[in-house]
Chain A
Amino acid sequence: MKALSKKRRHPLAAVALLLFGLLITGSLYTAAGSISEAKAADTTTASQSDVDEGGKLFVANCATCHGMNAEGTNSGPSLIGVGAASVDFQVGTGRMPMQMQGPQAQAKPVQFTDEQISQLAAFVASLGAGPAIPDEESLDTTKGDAAHGGTVFRVNCAMCHNAAAAGGALTRGKFAPTLAGVSEKHIYEAMVTGPQNMPVFNDSNITPDEKRDVVTFLKTIEANGSAGGVALGSLGPVAEGLFVWTAGLGIIIAFTIWLTSRPS
Chain B
Amino acid sequence: MGDHSHGSPENSGTVAKADDVAQDRFPDPGLPPHRPRLADRDPRAAKRHERQVALLFTISIIGTLFFFVSYFVLGHLGDMTFAELRVQNAALGLGTAFAMLGIGVGIVHWAKTLMPDHELVESRHEIRTEADRQDAVEIVDTIIEESGIKRRPLIRNSLIGAIALAPIPAIFMFRDLERSGKTAGEMVEQLRHTMWDTGVRLTRDPSGTPIKASDVQIGSAFHVIPEGLNEAEDVLNEKAKAVVLLMRMDPQEMNISEGREDWNVDGIVAYSKICTHVGCPIALYEQHTHHLLCPCHQSTFDLANECKVVFGPAGHALPQLPIMVDAEGYLVARSDFHEPVGPAYWERGQ
Contact = CB atoms under 8 A, between A and B. Distances in A.
B286 A204 contact: no
Contact of A198 (B83, B112, B287, B300): B287
Given A170-B286, A197-B288, A264-B37, A226 B86 contact: yes
A155 interface: yes
Nearest to A157: B283
B114 to A, nearest CB: 9
A201 B220 contact: yes
Interface of B: 35, 37-39, 81-83, 85-86, 89-90, 93, 108, 112-113, 117, 204-206, 211-212, 215-223, 247, 281, 283-289, 291, 293, 295, 298, 300, 311
Given A204-B215, A229-B90, A259 B220 contact: no
13 contacts: A155-B205, A159-B283, A168-B295, A171-B286, A171-B293, A194-B220, A200-B219, A201-B220, A204-B211, A226-B86, A228-B86, A229-B90, A263-B38
A199 interface: yes
A197 B289 contact: yes
Given A225-B83, A259-B108, A170 B215 contact: no
- Which of the four size classes fits the interface of chain A? 20 to 34
B38 A264 contact: yes
Contacts of A199: 219-221, 247, 285, 287
B15 to A, nearest CB: 32
B287 A197 contact: yes
A194 to B, nearest CB: 5
A34 B228 CA distance: 51
B294 to A, nearest CB: 10
B204 A171 contact: no
Which 3 residue pairs are nearest across A and B when measured between Cβ atoms? Answer: A199-B221, A204-B215, A197-B286
Given A159-B295, A204-B212, A227-B82, 12 more contacts: A160-B283, A194-B219, A197-B286, A197-B289, A198-B287, A199-B247, A200-B217, A202-B217, A204-B215, A205-B215, A228-B89, A263-B38
Contacts of A69: none
Contacts of A183: none
Given A225-B82, A227-B86, A194 B293 contact: no
Contacts of B300: 171
Contacts of B89: 227-229
Contacts of B287: 194, 197-200
Interface of A: 151, 155-156, 159-160, 168, 170-172, 174, 176, 194, 196-202, 204-205, 224-229, 258-259, 262-264
Nearest to A194: B219
A259 B110 CA distance: 12
A259 B111 CA distance: 10
Contact of A159 (B83, B108, B211, B281): B281
A155 B206 contact: yes
A170 B39 CA distance: 62
Nearest to A223: B82
A263 B215 contact: no
Given A171-B286, A194-B219, A202-B220, A151 B206 contact: yes
Given A156-B223, A170-B293, A263-B112, A229 B217 contact: no
A124 B186 CA distance: 59
A259 B105 CA distance: 10
Contacts of B35: 262
Contacts of B311: 171
A159 to B, nearest CB: 5
Contacts of B204: 205
Given A159-B281, A205-B222, A225-B86, A174 B295 contact: no
Contacts of A168: 295
Given A227-B85, A229-B89, A174 B286 contact: yes
A202 B108 contact: no
Contacts of A156: 221, 223
Contacts of B285: 199
A170 B216 CA distance: 23
Contacts of A194: 219-220, 287
Contacts of A160: 283-284
Nearest to A198: B287
A171 B291 contact: yes
Nearest to A224: B82
A228 B82 CA distance: 9
